[in-house]
């Protein structure tokens, strides 16, 4: 009956500890311990020396070691230290058997890697209680190991997904940059330079130009709310509505009976876009926009500013004037109207259109560049033309911010008017 109770009790311990190694130079002590452990259902190995025990540990790593402290040759402390250095997949619980009870001796044993102590002669009930304690610790260790393994596998899968997403975003960036087909183009009387630099792989800014006739061109700058993929997808769709390559798809142009195309008023174009966003696009995004119709013969400029930052006219003498009337973003209010502003560029003037990523570029002290800072940059660079100005602008912004890792997309359109009436090239 007693053996039955002990076996039932042993089964209740669990199955984390299966293999037990008993190390003692006393054959009698080993037999006593082995008898109890075998009766409790453990798979028991025995060794008469630390050296023999290490050989067993290398072939069959035990879950639990019961080792005498005082042994000839390598003692229990040295064996414990060596045992801890052995490579293994899981933790091995180590109990030292000793007649020492001094605190200093116990502390020394713990420093060498022992988990627990048993005083000789070993009491069976106390031994079982100590094994139960080791069982609880090993169970937690094994559970933690399994969870760490699961976390590791999950992180590996996430890394794989991230790498795939990163690769897709790199391709998406190339596609988005391809929406701005020409970064610089001369139109005889004028030349246009474009800048598009997303803060991440892809962004919500879009700039572009399209020919209207032999002496008129259209310019646009768009900033979709938010960042990332959904904003970039919307810019791609909007780019199709203002195509420079396919005038029949450009909603700013209207085909005439003779096959030519005439421009619609900028205010009407933006109103149409507002209606399309609200009625045809299932999105929570809206966007700011600046649309320009420029006549290269007269310098007359028609412009709609729909929530976009105020553009700057830099005159031939280097002085700057802020133009525009503000306005509401596109895609917020059904039936919204958009005011058209007209002004004239003189020979030598240039129009600079920028996103809020420029004027709201933060310095290290969190102050913003603002319109005054932009004007100062333009005046300092009044002799710099075309794409060189755009490149210099990025340098100046990076110097102002203390980094070229800008928090928002940077985009701009530069229209430089030479005053010639040459036809569009």
- Give the CATH number for residue 263: 3.60.40.10
Please report whether residue 163 resides in a domain.
no
- pLDDT at position 284 over 90: no
H runs (alpha helix) in 86-228 = 103-111, 124-178
Run of H or E including 117:
strand 116-119
Residues 135, 189: one domain?
no
CATH number at residue 60: 3.40.50.2300
pLDDT of residue 425: 39
Do both 248 and 380 map to the same domain? yes
Domain count, the chain: 2
- Write out the H or E segment, with its range, that includes residue 320: strand 320-322
| CA distance linking residue 52 with residue 133, whole number of Å | 27
Residues 355 and 399 in one domain: yes
Q: pLDDT tens, 110-154?
A: 889 999 988 888 899 999 999 999 999 999 988 888 898 899 888
Give the percent of the chain with pLDDT over 70.
90
| Residue where the block lists tokens 């709609």 | 304
Q: Domain check: are 55 and 100 in the same one?
A: yes
Residue 422 inside a domain? The answer is no
6-15, 153-162, 331-340: range with lowest mean pLDDT: 6-15
Same domain, 205 and 289: yes
Claim to verify: residue 256 and residue 116 sit in the same structural domain: no
**pLDDT at position 246, please?**
86
Domain of 102, in residue numbers: 2-147
Domain boundary among 130, 147, 164: 147
Q: Give the pLDDT band (50/70/90) at residue 285.
A: confident
Helix 103-111 × helix 76-85 angle, to 10°: 30
Same domain for 142 and 189, yes or no, is no
Q: Is the pLDDT at 292 greater than 80, yes or no?
A: yes
Cα 381 to Cα 375: distance, rounded to the nearest angstrom: 10
Distances (CA, A) of 419 to 116, 351, 378: 93, 13, 20
Do both 220 and 322 map to the same domain? yes
Written in H, E and C, the secondary structure of 392-414 is HHHHHHHHHHCCCCCCCCEEEEE
**Residues 187, 139: one domain?**
no
pLDDT digits (tens, 9 = 90+) for 349-366: 999 999 999 999 999 999
Given 132, 147, 162, the domain boundary residue is 147
126 lies in some domain: yes
92-106, 215-229, 230-244 — most confident range: 215-229
Q: Average pLDDT, whole number, for the chain? A: 87
Same-domain pairing of 229 and 98 = no
pLDDT at residue 207 in the model: 92
Residue whose token pair is 């060794």: 47
The domain boundary, picked from 147, 163, 198, lies at: 147
């Amino acid at each position: 009956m007693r053996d039955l109770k002990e076996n039932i009790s042993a089964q209740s311990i669990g199955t984390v500890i299966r293999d037990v190694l008993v190390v003692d130079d006393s054959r009698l002590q080993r037999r006593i311990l082995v008898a109890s452990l075998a009766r409790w259902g453990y798979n028991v190995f025995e060794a008469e020396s630390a050296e023999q025990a290490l050989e067993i540990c290398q072939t069959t790593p035990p879950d639990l070691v019961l080792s005498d402290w005082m042994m000839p040759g390598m003692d229990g402390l040295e064996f414990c230290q060596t045992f801890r250095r052995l490579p293994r997949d899981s933790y091995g619980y180590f109990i030292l058997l000793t007649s020492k009870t001094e605190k200093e001796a116990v502390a020394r044993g713990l420093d060498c890697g022992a988990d627990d102590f048993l005083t000789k002669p070993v009491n069976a009930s106390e031994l079982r209680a100590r094994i139960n304690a080791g069982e609880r610790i090993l169970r937690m260790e094994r559970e933690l190991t399994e969870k760490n393994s699961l976390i590791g596998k999950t992180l590996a899968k996430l890394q794989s997904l991230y790498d795939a997403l990163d690769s897709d975003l790199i391709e998406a960036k190339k596609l988005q940059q391809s929406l701005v087909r020409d970064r610089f183009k001369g139109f005889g009387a004028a030349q246009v330079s474009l800048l598009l630099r997303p803060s991440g792989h892809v962004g919500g800014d879009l700039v572009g130009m399209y020919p209207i006739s032999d002496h008129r061109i259209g310019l646009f700058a768009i900033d979709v709310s938010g960042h990332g993929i959904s904003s970039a997808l919307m810019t791609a769709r909007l780019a199709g509505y203002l195509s420079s390559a396919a005038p029949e798809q450009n909603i700013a142009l209207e085909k005439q009976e003779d096959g030519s195309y005439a421009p619609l008023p900028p205010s009407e174009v933006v109103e149409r876009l507002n209606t399309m966003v609200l009625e045809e696009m299932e999105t929570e995004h809206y966007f700011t926009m600046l649309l320009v119709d420029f006549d290269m013969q007269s310098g007359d400029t028609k412009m709609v500013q729909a929530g976009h930052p105020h553009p700057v006219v830099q005159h031939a003498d280097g002085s700057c004037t802020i133009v525009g009337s503000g306005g509401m973003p596109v895609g917020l209010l059904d039936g919204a109207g958009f005011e058209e502003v007209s002004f004239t560029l003189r020979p030598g003037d240039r129009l600079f259109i920028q996103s809020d990523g420029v004027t709201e570029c933060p310095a290290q002290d969190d102050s913003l560049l603002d319109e005054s800072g932009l004007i100062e940059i333009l005046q300092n660079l009044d002799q710099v033309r075309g794409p060189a100005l755009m490149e210099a602008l990025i340098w100046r912004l990076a110097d102002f911010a203390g980094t070229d890792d800008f928090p928002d997309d940077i985009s701009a359109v530069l229209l430089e008017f030479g005053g010639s009436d040459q036809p569009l090239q």
